[in-house]
Structures are given as C-alpha cells and as structure tokens.
C-alpha cells in the first residue's frame, strides 16, 4: 500500500464517536438524547434545548449532493491541498432523515463532469489506516 499523503483527521473526545463508527462501517451523527436534534460537526451542547447529553446515532448514509466545488488550482493566497491531485471535487452531502445535517466528502466512481446538485448518493467507507476510515459517497 502506497503512503497516504492527504490530511488525516485527528481524533479527539468530541469526534471519537464519529470516527469509531466509520471504522465499523456505520455512519454516526451526533444527536441530543433529550430533544433528538442532530448536530454536525459535533459540539458539547445541543443548541436547541441546551442539554449536554449528546449521543452518537447511526444513520442510513443516504443523501443528495447539496453543493460541490471543483478544485482546479490552489486558491489565491492559500496553500495547495496536501496529497490531492488537481482537479478534484469536494462535495457537501445533505443526509436523508437527519434534518439539516450536511457532511463534507468526496464522490467515488463519479467523473467530475457527472456531478450534479441533487444527485442521490450512498455512503461507502474508505479505510486509511488502522485508526481512520473516511466516509465517501457513491452515486446511486
């Protein structure tokens, strides 16, 4: 296996539940155990009812492309994306059944010119190393 050069997420107390889920091929989104409001990225307090009883809730992992960008060049005044070969696409997926939750990802098995807003996608898991598996999405 060649060396993986892209950024690898650092896991902390707040985010561990999500990354643990991915390792087990389960997409988990943080949810308030009091009012069942979902939250992503995770935070310590539910912004709706102010409970701190946050839990990790498995979701189906289906959704649609909410928006996407095609990174063709390093942005003005910024650094290149480490490990990525330009051009590449970053997508924002709106997850079904998880109101208001969007997750950043990449599409697999999809050419750049075939990406469309609204296209249905489903999660797949890409193992990076023993600790980290990333959620990616494949067009349905």
Residues that bind another protein (CB under 8 A): 6-12, 14-15, 18, 40-43, 47, 66-82, 84, 87-88, 90-92, 100-106, 117-118, 134
Identity of the residue, 37 or 90, whose beta carbon is nearer to Zn ion in the bound complex:
37
Q: In angstroms, give the least distance from the CB of 101 to another protein.
A: 8
From the list another protein, Zn ion, none, partner contacted by residue 28 (C-beta under 5 to 8 A by kind) = none
Strand order from edge to edge, sheet including 54-59: 38-39, 27-32, 54-59
Beta-strand pair 120-127/62-71? antiparallel
Residue with smaller CB distance to another protein, 34 or 71: 71
C-alpha span between 104 and 10 (Å, rounded): 16
Among candidate residues 134, 125, 103, 90, the one with its CA nearest the CA of residue 39 = 103
Q: How far apart are CA 105 and CA 20, in angstroms?
A: 17
If the CB atoms of residues 60 and 99 are measured against another protein, the closer one turns out to be 99
CB of 39 to Zn ion, least distance (A): 9
């Amino acid at each position: 296996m060649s060396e993986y050069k892209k950024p690898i997420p650092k896991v902390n107390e707040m985010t561990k539940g999500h990354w643990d889920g991915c390792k087990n091929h389960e997409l988990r989104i943080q949810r308030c155990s009091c009012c069942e409001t979902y939250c992503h990225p995770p935070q310590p307090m539910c912004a709706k009812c102010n409970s701190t009883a946050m839990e990790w809730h498995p979701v189906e992992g289906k959704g649609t492309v909410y928006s996407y960008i095609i990174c063709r060049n390093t942005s003005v005044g910024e650094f290149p994306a480490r490990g990525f070969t330009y051009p590449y696409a970053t997508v924002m997926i709106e997850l079904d059944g998880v109101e208001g939750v969007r997750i950043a990802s990449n599409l697999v098995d999809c050419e750049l010119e075939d990406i469309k807003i609204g296209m249905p996608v489903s999660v797949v898991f890409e193992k990076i190393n023993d600790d980290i598996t990333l959620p990616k999405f494949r067009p349905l």
